[in-house]
Structure 1
Amino acid sequence: MTKQLYVIAAVCLWLLSACQSSTYKYEAVYKDLPFDMPRVEAPKFPDRKVNLADFGAVGNGEELCTAAFAKAIDVLAEKGGGHLIVPAGVWFTGPIVLKSNIDLHLEKGAVILFSPDVDLYPLVETVFEGLDTRRCQSPVSGRNLENVAITGEGAIDGNGHYWRPLKREKVTEGVWKQTIARGGVYKRPTYWFPYPQTLKGDTISNMNVPQNLKTEEEWQSVRHFLRPVMVSLIECKNVWLQGVIFQNSPAWNLHPLMCENVLIEEVQVRNPSYAQNGDGLDLESCKNALIVNSTFDVGDDGICLKSGKDEDGRRRGRVCENVVVDGCTVFKGHGGFVVGSEMSGGVRNVSVSNCQFLGTDVGLRFKSKRGRGGVVENIWIRNIAMMDIPTEPITFNLYYGGKSAVEVLESGEKVPAKVEPLPVDETTPCFRNIHVKNLVCAGARRALFFNGIPEMPIDGIVLEDIDITSKLGAEFIYSKNISMKNVNIRNTEGEKIVTRYCEGVEE
């Protein structure tokens, strides 16, 4: 009898396990995942709803709803959380600060439109471009939260064109004339800034981060330059973004920073192709993230993994790890899937599958430079389709200087000749153990470009079942242990494969 009970109990446990496995929405995505990672689930919220309109908000696109958003969130939080319903309408507002156990839910036809009035966005301590710094408060933000979501069928618009500078060569004549008609100032005749303070900030900045500001007066003097990311979630646990359109951000669009258990599904992330620093998703120093069935059409990198920059990033020491990207499409963007250049804390255990990159400057883009440090490793990429890639479907650039691959090409910058090695230390970036399988690219300028550094060559890259149609062939510089299995490069000019200062490039 006892034996029978044990058998029954074992069968019940197996059935329960099978049931749980079959009911998990993304079980297929986890199948054969080459690293251990917990299932990322959407957070649960109390079955409690409040409607934004009940707190005095008017959705006519003109009346400011900042106080109504704050009041509704406070009321929900005091009751233990729930869903803040944003009904159809255009809800014009200043910054929204989320709290734990809150789902900001946009119904069909709802648009949250953020005011372009810089005075509504005070300076806050944050991280941008991987550095500890100050920026204007993000339109949507949350810090140290647990169970937080933005869901629904509506749209969030950051009114970013009022914040961003503009380069004449990136837009049509009509867009240029419409933009400069607002006033502003010029760094050069073809480079426009919306405010004098914006231009001042640019002149004292390194990669968009001002240097050597010490007093509050000095910071305030360049406040208009300190464009915020649109959605900033810092050190949050159980984050869910679902269904919503996120568009027209002042700087980066979505920026989860040091978050854990992040689910991003079925979102649309949009910026004009000319949006400066208009990244789609920058997942920085996060752990356990699932990005699925989403589209990106932006002005900079599409889906990007980061982990801090230089000394600030190494001091933080937070790896970006356990990340799965599946079923996503990137249209315009500097890169489809990107790692870096801020990767000083390291990036590891990443899977990218079943994605398509349609006209991105680069398909798979890995970028860094001397001084960063950090190790990027254990990345598996499979089932990728690309077309109309102006540069390369896959590139490693260890000399990144802030320009897009297309801008580098147009500037005529040359690949460096033989480079003298530097001593290897904590500032030496490392890219190793990266696997790419089942990739097709129909149309690129160059098939592959690996540009490493002599003291730490790009190492252990496996390319398998790759088919590329391109003008030029593949070029490998300071790379080693490169394995190519069934790699078909159909180039129309030059040699199929060129290697310089390499070891173990196996065709």
Structure 2
Amino acid sequence: MRIKLLLAILGLGLLTACHNNKRTDFDIRDYGAKGDSITDNAEAIQEAIDACNNAGGGRVIVPGDGVYMAGPFTVASYVDLHLEANAKLLANPDEKVYKTSAFRDNKGEGMLWISGKNIEQFSISGKGKIDGNGVAFMGKELEDSYELKPVHVLDPRPHLLTLINGKDIRIKDVVIGNSAYWTVHLLGCNDVVVDGVSILNNLKIRNGDGIDVDHSKNVRISNCFIESGDDCICLKNRREYEELGPCENILVTNCTMTSRSCAIKIGSENMDRISHVVVNNCIIRNSNRGIGIQNRDEGTVENVIFSNILVDCKLFSNVWWGKSEAIYVTAYTRKAGDHKDAGWRFPKGMADYEVGAVTNISFNNIKCESENGVFVGADKKDKIQNLYFDQVDLMICKRTNFEGGIYDKRPCNGTEFVKGKTYGFYLDNASNVTIRNSSVRWGDTRPAYFADTMFSQNVDGLVTFNFK
């Protein structure tokens, strides 16, 4: 009797669990969504998300039976936005539907498409695709980019996914891409996992960053494949959200990246502190710049390790920042200007300031093949301190017809390009630089501007050991 009673209780529990699982799926078709690639399904998707949140959580299903076009909508806590295999969520190509700025009162750098604020336990999962419809927002196609449409006050290009002040965020397995502006923007988030995601942006679209980790902490990015015209993974602290604190405790591992700008970048927007960062076991292919620290504001960068990375770079046109620097560590004061968002680049009420310091940076077991070498530069010697290069091997070889012998300092106050020669290591203004167990080799085609193993000026405490 006891056994029968126990089995009955267990059976009831299993039936209840199955029933609950069924109830917690919210198919967007049940709220009127149509996968015809024409209907704007933003309202139906929003209703499904709100119903899921009001029910205490569950999955909002984007089915794999069509293309679900949508304008802006917001995600919510306790929701798993699940894209079934062969599902596509497509951004509405009509610029007029995007009305909320991605950066508060600064309307010159894009609008929101998919966004969420003050949410927790939110996830995106599945084998489907989220498509930003990026080309629809571009001007004419150029040789290696798209022309950007003129912007006076408002830039209507949508950021694909923006999560603000989120906690316990998980993004797994989906394909995200073709973004017209930044793709995944983690802004003031805590405890984030991005795993197994493919970010496939059009390599000709400018400002098409892959993942921007902004004022966020405890972020793990792993096993991702990222192609983007702009930076693949970028750590920063934007001024528009200065109250959200520093960017810290960031781990990037087992990722493959291609970029027309910089594959892995720290900066250039950094008004706070970026610290405790590890980038390990990554592959960078066919990129402009490989690894970059680009400090241009009063914020600091400290305690960063890059290890076990293959870097493959080549030159691109001046549309893209960088001159094939395999590794790039800089601290220059930002150039004042009259471009569309210049008013948001400087501390309030200040027209001049000193750039923050870059300290305690290690590069271990980095193998590079590029048209340029390592560039280290700053306004003053104390702005870059304690750099360690161990088993950093460079093969410098000519691969394109673009002009070489140039280092790109943009954006900076003063001379934007250093022209003349290409060196294995170019060091200008730094303190305590160690290079050991490293090498520089030159390709068979050696133009006249390929110079020597190292150039050094205004460097205190330079130590080399077993440097070939």
Q: What is the TM-score of this pair, normalised by structure 2?
A: 0.78
Superposed CA deviations along residues 337-362 of structure 1, whole A, max 9, x for unmatched, are: 10000111110001100000001111
Residue 95 of structure 1 is matched in structure 2 by 72
* Structure 1 residue matching 2:310: 3-state secondary structure: strand
* Structure 2 residue matching 1:340: 3-state secondary structure: strand
1:115 partner amino acid = N
Residue 196 of structure 2 is matched in structure 1 by 266
**1:54-93 mapped onto 2 (5 Å cutoff):** 54-88=30-64, 89-93=66-70
User: Taking structure 1 as reference, are residues 362 and 200 closer, same or farther at Cα in structure 2, changes over 3 Å only?
Assistant: closer
Residue 253 of structure 2 is matched in structure 1 by 326
Q: 2:390 aligned to 436, 460, 464, which one?
A: 464
Superposed CA deviations along residues 99-150 of structure 1, whole A, max 9, x for unmatched, are: 11011000100000111112222234x428xx85576642210000011111
In 1, distance between residues paired with 2:279 and 2:387? 15
Q: CA deviation at 1:331?
A: 1.7
Residue 137 of structure 2 is matched in structure 1 by 163
Q: CA deviation at 1:200?
A: 4.5
* Structure 2 residue matching 1:428: 3-state secondary structure: coil
Question: Which structure's residues are more often helix, by fraction?
Answer: 1
2:35 partner amino acid = G
Superposed CA deviations along residues 161-213 of structure 1, whole A, max 9, x for unmatched, are: 22234562425xxxx7xxxxxxxxxxxxxx562xxxxx241xxxxxxxxxxxx
* Structure 2 residue matching 1:59: 3-state secondary structure: coil
User: Taking structure 1 as reference, are residues 135 and 300 closer, same or farther at Cα in structure 2, changes over 3 Å only?
Assistant: closer
* Structure 2 residue matching 1:71: 3-state secondary structure: helix
Residue 215 of structure 1 is matched in structure 2 by none
Q: What is the TM-score of this pair, normalised by structure 1?
A: 0.72
In 1, distance between residues paired with 2:34 and 2:24? 22
In 1, distance between residues paired with 2:85 and 2:354? 48
In 2, distance between residues paired with 1:506 and 1:398? 21
In 2, distance between residues paired with 1:394 and 1:321? 21
In 2, distance between residues paired with 1:377 and 1:46? 48
In 1, distance between residues paired with 2:99 and 2:200? 25
1:106 partner amino acid = L
In 1, distance between residues paired with 2:227 and 2:159? 16
Unaligned 5+ runs, structure 2: 1-20, 316-323, 336-351, 398-422, 444-449
Equivalent pair of 1:429/1:456 in contact (CA under 8 Å): no
In 2, distance between residues paired with 1:461 and 1:455? 12
Residue 148 of structure 1 is matched in structure 2 by 122
Residue 396 of structure 1 is matched in structure 2 by 329
Q: 1:361 aligned to 288, 308, 318, which one?
A: 288
Residue 435 of structure 2 is matched in structure 1 by 484
In 2, distance between residues paired with 1:453 and 1:135? 28
1:57 partner amino acid = A
User: Taking structure 1 as reference, are residues 363 and 200 closer, same or farther at Cα in structure 2, changes over 3 Å only?
Assistant: closer
In 2, distance between residues paired with 1:343 and 1:57? 41
1:292 partner amino acid = S
Equivalent pair of 1:308/1:316 in contact (CA under 8 Å): no
User: Taking structure 1 as reference, are residues 77 and 426 closer, same or farther at Cα in structure 2, changes over 3 Å only?
Assistant: same
Task: Find out whether 1:308 has 2:238 as its counterpart.
Answer: yes
Equivalent pair of 1:332/1:359 in contact (CA under 8 Å): yes
* Structure 1 residue matching 2:424: 3-state secondary structure: strand
Q: How many residues align?
A: 388
Q: CA deviation at 1:228?
A: 3.0
* Structure 2 residue matching 1:100: 3-state secondary structure: coil
User: Taking structure 1 as reference, are residues 301 and 400 closer, same or farther at Cα in structure 2, changes over 3 Å only?
Assistant: farther
In 1, distance between residues paired with 2:53 and 2:244? 32
* Structure 2 residue matching 1:297: 3-state secondary structure: strand
In 1, distance between residues paired with 2:160 and 2:73? 10
Q: CA deviation at 1:486?
A: 0.3
**1:22-61 mapped onto 2 (5 Å cutoff):** 48-61=24-37
User: Taking structure 1 as reference, are residues 440 and 90 closer, same or farther at Cα in structure 2, changes over 3 Å only?
Assistant: same
Equivalent pair of 2:67/2:89 in contact (CA under 8 Å): yes
User: Taking structure 1 as reference, are residues 200 and 141 closer, same or farther at Cα in structure 2, changes over 3 Å only?
Assistant: closer
User: Taking structure 1 as reference, are residues 192 and 127 closer, same or farther at Cα in structure 2, changes over 3 Å only?
Assistant: closer
1:153 partner amino acid = K
* Structure 1 residue matching 2:47: 3-state secondary structure: helix
Task: Find out whether 1:340 has 2:340 as its counterpart.
Answer: no
Task: Find out whether 1:501 has 2:426 as its counterpart.
Answer: no
* Structure 2 residue matching 1:60: 3-state secondary structure: coil
Give me the CA root mean square deviation.
2.3
Residue 363 of structure 2 is matched in structure 1 by 436
